[in-house]
Amino acid sequence: MDEKSLDNAGFLRRLAAIIYDTFLLLGVLFIAGLPLPLLPDHWQHTLPVSLAIRGYLLLVSFIFFGWFWINGGQTLGMRAWGLRLIGADGASVTWSQACQRFFGAILSWGCVGLGFIWMLFSPDKLAWHDWLSDTRIVRIIK
């Protein structure tokens, strides 16, 4: 079956994949953050270093999601729940779309999750970050 004809994934299945991926991301961020306590103590509490650390962890998060989205369209959580990210036209996702989706998801969740909850009222089951990045998550039936 062609992925263009697959239905967009529903709210609960996507939420389950997000929870799964959140635990994986926390593990990755823990490992990425291991060298941070090695910074001199007086540096850690300065604004530039604090912003650099946050930027570094944000970059690690983007690479985590972006790499999975670009290489096969599935994070591990999406694979476990039978989901795949594709472009609205059914093509593979580009790095540009991954970047738009990542920062769109921050916006979606940053508004108390309204951007994600929006999909409950969207006829196409699209969250804000789907719409902003011209992507969609489909259910893969095996």
**CA dihedral (82, 86, 92, 96) positive or negative:** negative
Q: What are phi and psi of 130, to 5 degrees?
A: -65, -50
Q: How far apart are CA 48 and CA 97, in angstroms?
A: 29
| Lowest mean pLDDT segment, chosen from 6-10, 17-21, 37-41, 66-70 | 37-41
Q: Which domain holds residue 40?
A: 3-139
Ramachandran sector of residue 73 (left: φ over 0; alpha: ψ -120 to 50; beta: rest): left
| Closest C-alpha among 61, 85, 95 to residue 137 | 85
Q: Which amino acid is at 31?
A: I
Give the chain's domain count: 1
pTM of the model: 0.89
Question: What does the pLDDT average to over 101-121?
Answer: 96
